[in-house]
Amino acid sequence: MFSLPGLILLGLFLILPFVFAIYLSFTNQKLASPLPVRWVGFDNYHRVLTDGDFWRAFANNLLFAAVVVPVQTGLALWMAILVNKRIRAAKVFRAIFFLPVVVVMTVAAVIWFLLLDPNRGLVNGFLGAITFGAVEPGWLQSTLWAMPAIIIISIWQGAGFQMIILLAGLQDIPQELYEAASIDGATKRQQFFYVTLPQLRNTLIFVITITMILAFRLFDQVWALTRGGPLNSTDTVMVQLVDTGFERKQIAVASAIAVIFFVVVLSLTLIQRIFLKEERS
């Protein structure tokens, strides 16, 4: 009974819309069209799966996830260990590390757009100063540097969230384990690998899983900064879905993209869960 309100909201705003999207994916529905809706079977799925732009966007998603998941998780773990120590102003550091999480991505994107400006941005000004002008990338205007820029912004914005989860896991580790390891002569490095990491196993699995799902949902940064450009170098499946459904008004094709993407992400998550099994307490 206590879970009933949540289940009702979950059904109304998640399950029913997705079921409706599955239905739309088998039709020729337009977002705004007087044409009668008719059943087209798997035509939309065939169109998506044979579209080179879709696979290019999916490859960008894979690249983004392959870099962001390990780097962001590692950075978050380092920050969590740092603020978990008994140092002065630890709470201040926690607030600083977590601050990017509470910044709305659209606002953060505007700030980063100014920072990455190739002519007046502080980032290129700093790089030019320390390299005597040898390194001054075009960032968002370059097919080579646009995706790395999106990756940097995403890691900066999301690492604080993972840090809070990992910090909770660190504080749940019994101190007696570290005391016993210290008495046995274990170094700080050995304590990290043989005490901290094993005790954080379930927390790390949760963080990695959530980070991977969020990485595949990449949209805000790309839409605000590049709209998938230049030359589709930062295009993602979510960007393509929104562009197809709301810009080109092909809501049935966009629904097919959504269903395919759901199946792919669900499959990757299940595979990850098979290889990274949580320990039962």
Q: How far apart are CA 184 and CA 195, in angstroms?
A: 13
Residue 177 pLDDT: 92
* 52-275 CATH pick, 3.20.20.150, 3.50.50.60, 1.10.3720.10, 1.10.540.10: 1.10.3720.10
Q: How far apart are CA 130 and CA 134, in angstroms?
A: 9
Residue 261 pLDDT: 92
Q: pTM here?
A: 0.89
Residue 281 pLDDT: 55
Q: What angle do CA 220, 225, 226 make, to 5 degrees?
A: 105
Q: What percent of the chain has pLDDT over 70?
A: 98
Confidence of residue 274 (pLDDT cuts 50, 70, 90): confident
pLDDT digits (tens, 9 = 90+) for 90-104: 788 888 888 888 888
pLDDT digits (tens, 9 = 90+) for 7-39: 999 999 999 999 999 999 999 998 877 678 889
Q: How far apart are CA 165 and CA 174, in angstroms?
A: 17
Confidence of residue 133 (pLDDT cuts 50, 70, 90): confident
- Residue 220: pLDDT over 60: yes
Averaged pLDDT for residues 250-265: 93
Residue 259 pLDDT: 95
Q: How far apart are CA 187 and CA 191, in angstroms?
A: 6
Residue 255 pLDDT: 95
Residue 279 pLDDT: 60
Would you list the domain boundaries of the chain?
52-275
Residue 168 pLDDT: 92
Residue 105 pLDDT: 84
Residue with tokens 């029913």: 16
DSSP letters for the chain: -TTHHHHHHHIIIIIHHHHHHHHHTTB---SS--SPP-B-TTHHHHHHHT-HHHHHHHHHHHHHHHHHHHHHHHHHHHHHHHHHS--TTHHHHHHHHHHHHHS-HHHHHHHHHHHT-TTT-HHHHHHHHHTTTS----GGG-TTTHHHHHHHHHHHHHHHHHHHHHHHHHHTS-HHHHHHHHHTT--HHHHIIIIIHHHTHHHHHHHHHHHHHHHHT--HHHHHHTTT-STTTT--HHHHHHIIIIIS--HHHHHHHHHHHHHHHHHHHHHHHHHSPPPP-
Q: How far apart are CA 172 and CA 203, in angstroms?
A: 11
pLDDT digits (tens, 9 = 90+) for 41-74: 999 999 999 999 999 999 999 999 999 999 999 9
Confidence of residue 195 (pLDDT cuts 50, 70, 90): very high
Cβ atoms of residues 145 and 139 within 8 Å: yes
- Mean predicted lDDT score pLDDT of the chain: 89
Q: Which two tokens stand for residue 85?
A: 């120590």
Confidence of residue 278 (pLDDT cuts 50, 70, 90): low
Q: What percent of the chain has pLDDT over 90?
A: 56
Specify the range with the lowest mean pLDDT, choosing from 94-98, 125-129, 155-159.
125-129
The dihedrals phi and psi of 197, each to the nearest 5 degrees, come to -60, -45
